[in-house]
Structure 1
Amino acid sequence: MAGGEFFLLRVKAVPNAKKTQFAGTLGGAVKIKVQAPPEGGRANAELAAFVAGTLALPSRNVRVAAGETSRNKILRVEGCARERAEAAWGFPVPDAGRGNG
């Protein structure tokens, strides 16, 4: 989606959770519990699919832009404005940098 709207989402990922879900905000990041283990990219894939699903986007529209092997990540969410995410999620989305949305 080159040139389309996007925003950067700072995430604190918590793998091996009982259920994949939002868990509030923490230090300028959205905390997301992920059921998958942090092995072989499984937690990252589940994290991207979860975020995409909550915004009715294809999974390919959400990718890890930074922090591939860290619990602290920045996701690039394409095809969606920050305001739409805030409306869908019901909480303010901390600014993680420059985006077109």
Structure 2
Amino acid sequence: MRLAVRVTPRGGRDAVEGWTRDEAGRAVLKVRVAAAPADGSANAAVLALLAKALKRPKSSLSLVSGETARLKLVEAEGVDQAALEAAFGPAP
């Protein structure tokens, strides 16, 4: 399953803040990480945070697009809609 994520690097803490809608009306998960967006450390922190919330190994998540952007697309193997809702609540 692919998951759209809006990341705030240097956010002071690692946390999932819930769902929102982007300008096009698509559901996006808001995430903040304490890591700076240098050398991929913020991306690694996002994947680790999502893996922990989804109770999946980090290796089951990968960044599909948005390596240097705030809006990222994450591929989560072995995750279905029910698992997403259990971890993050229903999308708007």
TM-score, scaled to structure 2: 0.87
- In the TM superposition, residue 83 of structure 1 has moved relative to its aligned partner by 1.6
CA distance in structure 2 between the partners assigned to 1:22 and 1:37 by the alignment = 17
Whether 2:18 is the aligned partner of 1:24: answer: yes
SS in 2 for 1:37: coil
Alignment correspondent of 2:52: 53
**Structure having greater relative contact order (Cα 8 Å, sep ≥ 6):** 1
SS in 2 for 1:31: strand
Alignment correspondent of 2:9: 15
Structure 1 stretches lacking a partner, 5+ long? 1-6, 95-101
SS in 2 for 1:80: coil
Q: Identity of paired residues, percent?
A: 32
Whether the aligned pair in 1 keeps the contact of 2:63 and 2:75 (CA below 8 Å) is yes
Whether the aligned pair in 1 keeps the contact of 2:7 and 2:30 (CA below 8 Å) is yes
Greater mean deviation of Cα atoms: 30-39 or 19-28: 19-28
CA distance in structure 1 between the partners assigned to 2:12 and 2:90 by the alignment = 22
SS in 2 for 1:13: strand
- In the TM superposition, residue 80 of structure 1 has moved relative to its aligned partner by 1.3
Aligned residues: 87
SS in 1 for 2:82: helix
Whether the aligned pair in 1 keeps the contact of 2:11 and 2:34 (CA below 8 Å) is yes
- In the TM superposition, residue 18 of structure 1 has moved relative to its aligned partner by 1.2
Alignment correspondent of 1:3: none
- In the TM superposition, residue 20 of structure 1 has moved relative to its aligned partner by 0.8
Alignment correspondent of 2:32: 33
Amino acid at match of 1:72: L
